[in-house]
């Protein structure tokens, strides 16, 4: 069972086994990958902790400057619908007549409706440096611009009232046929609409829309103050429509105009925190100031760090497969943000700190946020929100993984090459030892000149030298055994002759009956001893002379037929059946072939029961002549199928007292079959209780040449070696 299990195991060369060992080095990047994942989590926590410290520091700095809280405290009151917020812009606006010209996020527009119609006004206000940009999208169903033939455009207007430095100012905005807006300063008296003073610093354009009219204004920040209100007046085919944010003729009814604090922005800028972004929010979550850039956070982490782009192009697919393709570019979700209205901000404005991790859309980058409330006299007046992306961490991780893979690749290549060279050297030396060992012993089991040696002072060198010494001793012992039969034959024939002549003289003399019995037993023993010597001499003679015999064409079919007739007479107690295919020719010596046939038939007759058939078959099979002899009788023991063709091997259960058996018959048959470029083998069939001995020989081709291809099955002794 152990042998069967062993044979089922796959066969691997030493080089393969060494390379498998080297493959374990590939586990290093996996452990590194696991380590970097843990490090990624740790760096995120560290980054969040730093953001929390930054927001806490800014909040503390603002709390220690009470004068800066005037706007915060002012904004702490409930924000009214009539109030306006000057949202900061990152770039100046060039109006084109589109409602999307002002790039404000989260719908910062204010909507006012008419009391007597379905009209409404959508207002957007933004500030860039000292310029204020306003957009009034007024929906007026059935707008009638041709209401007055005298002044069709002057009758459609927009009035803006402001309070600056406690001075009440009113401005009238009218439309012109050219598509531009005209700005005028109204008198101080709210009851008067004239005279009009042109204000050239007020610029703008108007555009008709599907549902009304769009007015877009640009005016200096100096025209506005702390409060503002507007009123629009337009004609329709059904009458007039008016929309107002609050009454425009009294400074007490205007809405508040809230703008970011430049003082707070100076504090933020002084922190030199360019790798993150800081927002200062009022009690309503509106942005009072902001500084920093989240796009710069990756540069602070990965400055001077090479990424996978530095990897050779041929390795990039492998690296992308191992590390993954990361899309670190992102769109800022809070660009132009003017108000935060998320749960974390609400909690912060209720007095609780908060942190969050937000996955950015279409990107592998996350946005980390930390918010800290600002306290003044025990009341939350605002919050400081700090943000930073994980772009730097991911770029740093990608670089570290790339460096690890580069190192692992170099180490693996060097280890693989070293192991391959080492394994090749060992495999080559072992293969040479195997080839030399096989060449020492020929197919007949004879040991020839031994030339196996090694000068290497390692274990394999010791093995080769030990093997060489062992083969030398085996060679000497083999020569001793090979010459033993001839020596025994020579040395024993003389005493046998003396004993035989002495026994013959004793027979001539008169003796008692007991003496005659002892003489008979002595004669039988002498005959057995003489038979042993003859068999040994026969085997030795064939071994020594067979290679010098010339080969010629032999009609194997005719030879088997002739022998078949003789065997029926020699073994009358057995039934012989023959199946002989005609005209089968091989190259060989007819006498040796007949001698081999005799040995195999004698073996079959001895092991076959009386009256049991002995089947002789000669056929052509795959360019070879196959001669098989099958008898019914005891089967061969397991594992003895090839051993019975060795010298001095006999497996008879009951030895014949009259005839010695040294197992030389089948041994001689194997010598003769190999001389004829053939092989001989035995096989038992447990189903029919039969044993078949078959010999295969190359056929003689029609042109008189023999196919001397080596048979598929080697001789038993060669296989054993």
- For the record, the structure tokens of 446 come out as 């004879």
Q: Are strands 87-88 and 120-128 parallel, antiparallel or unpaired?
A: parallel
Report whether pLDDT(656) > 60: no
Overall average pLDDT of the 507-525 stretch = 67
Task: Give the pLDDT confidence score for residue 271 in this predicted structure.
Answer: 72
Overall average pLDDT of the 417-441 stretch = 81
Report whether pLDDT(6) > 50: no
The CATH code for residues 87-258 is 2.60.40
Q: How confident is the model at residue 273 (pLDDT cuts 50, 70, 90)?
A: low
Q: Indicate if the alpha-carbon torsion angle 405, 408, 413, 416 is positive or negative.
A: negative
Overall average pLDDT of the 16-45 stretch = 78
Higher pLDDT, 115 or 711: 115
Angle of helix 664-675 relative to helix 590-607, nearest 10 degrees, comes to 150
Task: Give the pLDDT confidence score for residue 72 in this predicted structure.
Answer: 52
Please check whether residue 385 is in contact with residue 279, taking contact to mean a CB–CB distance below 8 angstroms: yes
Position of tokens 């961490």?
393
Q: How confident is the model at residue 704 (pLDDT cuts 50, 70, 90)?
A: low
To the nearest 10°, the Cα dihedral for 392, 394, 396, 402?
Answer: -150
Over pLDDT 70: what percentage of the chain?
75
- For the record, the structure tokens of 36 come out as 């970097």
Higher pLDDT, 527 or 423: 423
The least confident of 56-65, 319-328, 559-568, 625-634 is: 319-328
Instruction: Sheet containing 379-389: give its strands across.
Output: 287-292, 277-282, 379-389, 366-376, 354-359
Task: Give the pLDDT confidence score for residue 666 in this predicted structure.
Answer: 83
Average pLDDT, the chain: 78
CB-based burial, 85-113: b 16+ in 10 Å, e otherwise: bbbbbeeebebeeeeebbebeeebebebe
The CATH code for residues 549-720 is 3.30.565.10
* One-letter-per-residue 3-state SS of 242-274: EEECCCCCCCCCCEEEECCCHHHHHHHHHCCCC
To the nearest 10°, the Cα dihedral for 389, 393, 398, 400?
Answer: 170
Over pLDDT 90: what percentage of the chain?
12
Q: Indicate if the alpha-carbon torsion angle 540, 544, 550, 556 is positive or negative.
A: positive
Higher pLDDT, 633 or 456: 633
Residue range 481-514, pLDDT digits in tens:
666 666 666 666 677 777 777 777 766 765 666 6
The least confident of 16-30, 291-305, 531-545 is: 291-305
Task: Give the pLDDT confidence score for residue 220 in this predicted structure.
Answer: 92
Residue range 164-198, pLDDT digits in tens:
888 999 999 988 888 889 899 998 888 888 888 89
What is the enclosing helix (H) or strand (E) of 617? strand 613-620
Overall average pLDDT of the 348-372 stretch = 87
Higher pLDDT, 372 or 493: 372
Residue range 96-143, pLDDT digits in tens:
888 888 776 544 677 888 877 788 888 888 888 889 999 999 988 888
Task: Give the pLDDT confidence score for residue 355 in this predicted structure.
Answer: 93
d(CA 75, CA 256): 9
The residue ranges of every structural domain in the chain are 28-71+278-401, 87-258, 459-541, 549-720
What is the enclosing helix (H) or strand (E) of 562? helix 556-570
- For the record, the structure tokens of 627 come out as 């001669």
Task: Give the pLDDT confidence score for residue 719 in this predicted structure.
Answer: 28
Please check whether residue 135 is in contact with residue 108, taking contact to mean a CB–CB distance below 8 angstroms: no
- Within 8 A by CB and 6+ apart from 630, the residues are 604, 614, 615, 617, 690, 691, 692
Task: Give the pLDDT confidence score for residue 153 in this predicted structure.
Answer: 46
DSSP 22-45: HHGGGHHHHHHHHHHHHHHHHHHH
Judge: domain 28-71+278-401, CATH 3.30.70: no
Paired with 244 in beta bridges are 231
């Amino acid at each position: 069972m152990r042998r069967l299990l062993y044979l089922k195991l796959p066969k691997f060369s030493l080089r393969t086994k060494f390379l498998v060992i080297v493959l374990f080095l590939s586990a290093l990047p996996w452990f590194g990958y696991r380590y970097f994942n843990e490090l990624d989590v740790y760096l995120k926590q560290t980054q969040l902790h730093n953001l929390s410290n930054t927001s806490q520091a800014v909040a503390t700095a603002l709390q220690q400057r009470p004068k800066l809280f005037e706007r915060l405290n002012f904004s702490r009151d409930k924000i009214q619908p009539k109030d306006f917020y000057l949202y900061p812009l990152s770039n100046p606006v060039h109006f084109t007549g589109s409602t999307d010209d002002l790039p404000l996020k989260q719908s910062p527009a204010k909507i006012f409706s008419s009391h007597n119609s379905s009209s409404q006004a959508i207002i957007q206000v933004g500030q860039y440096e000292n310029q204020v940009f306003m957009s009034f999208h007024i929906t007026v169903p059935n707008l009638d611009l041709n209401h007055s033939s005298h002044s069709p455009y002057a009758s459609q207007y927009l009035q803006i009232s402001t309070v600056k430095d406690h001075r009440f100012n009113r401005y009238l905005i009218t439309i012109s046929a050219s598509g531009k807006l005209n700005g005028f300063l109204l008198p101080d008296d709210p009851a008067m609409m004239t005279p009009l003073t042109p204000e050239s610093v007020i610029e703008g354009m108007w555009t008709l829309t599907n549902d009304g009219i769009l007015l877009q204004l640009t005016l200096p920040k100096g025209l506005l103050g702390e409060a503002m209100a507007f009123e629009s007046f337009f004609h329709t085919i059904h009458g007039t429509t008016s929309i107002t944010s609050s009454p425009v003729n009294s400074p007490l009814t205007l809405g508040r105009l809230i703008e970011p604090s430049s003082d707070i922005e100076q504090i933020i800028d002084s922190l030199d925190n360019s790798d993150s972004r800081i927002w200062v929010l009022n009690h309503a979550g509106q942005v009072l100031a902001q500084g920093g850039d989240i796009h710069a956070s990756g540069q602070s982490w990965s400055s001077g760090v090479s990424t996978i782009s530095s990897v050779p192009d041929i390795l990039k697919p492998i690296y992308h497969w191992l590390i993954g393709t990361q899309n670190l570019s992102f769109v800022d979700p809070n660009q132009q943000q003017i108000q935060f209205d998320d749960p974390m901000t609400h909690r912060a404005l209720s007095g609780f700190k908060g942190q969050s991790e937000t996955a950015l859309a279409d990107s592998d980058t996350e946005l980390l946020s930390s918010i800290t409330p600002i306290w003044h006299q025990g009341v939350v007046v605002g919050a400081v929100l700090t943000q930073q992306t994980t772009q730097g961490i991911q770029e740093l991780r990608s670089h570290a993984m790339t460096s690890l893979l580069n190192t692992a690749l170099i180490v693996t290549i060097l280890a693989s090459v070293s192991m391959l060279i080492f394994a090749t050297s060992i495999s080559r030396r072992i293969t040479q030892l195997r080839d030399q060992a096989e060449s020492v012993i020929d197919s007949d089991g004879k040991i020839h000149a031994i030339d196996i040696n090694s000068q290497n002072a390692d274990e394999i060198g010791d093995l080769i030298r030990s093997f060489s010494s062992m083969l030398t001793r085996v060679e000497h012992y083999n020569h001793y055994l090979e010459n033993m039969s001839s020596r025994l034959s020579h040395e024993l024939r003389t005493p046998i002759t003396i004993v035989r002549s002495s026994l013959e003289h004793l027979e001539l003399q008169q003796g008692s009956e007991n003496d005659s019995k002892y003489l008979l037993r002595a004669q039988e023993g002498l005959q057995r001893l003489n038979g042993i010597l003859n068999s040994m001499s026969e085997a030795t003679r064939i071994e020594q002379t067979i290679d010098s015999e010339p080969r010629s064409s032999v009609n194997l079919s005719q030879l088997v037929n002739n022998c078949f007739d003789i065997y029926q007479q020699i073994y009358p107690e057995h039934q012989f059946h023959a199946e002989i295919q005609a005209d089968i020719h091989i190259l060989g010596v007819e006498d040796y072939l007949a001698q081999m046939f005799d040995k195999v038939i004698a073996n079959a007759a001895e092991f076959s029961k009386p009256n049991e058939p002995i089947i002789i078959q000669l056929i052509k099979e795959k360019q070879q002549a196959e001669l098989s002899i099958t008898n019914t009788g005891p089967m061969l023991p397991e594992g003895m199928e090839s051993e019975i063709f060795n010298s001095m091997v006999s497996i008879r259960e009951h030895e014949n007292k009259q005839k010695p058996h040294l197992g030389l018959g089948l041994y001689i048959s194997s010598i003769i079959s190999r001389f004829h470029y053939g092989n001989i083998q035995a096989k038992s069939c447990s189903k029919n209780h039969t044993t078949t001995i078959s010999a295969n020989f190359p056929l003689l081709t029609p042109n008189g040449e023999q196919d001397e291809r080596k048979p598929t099955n080697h001789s038993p002794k060669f296989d054993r070696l």
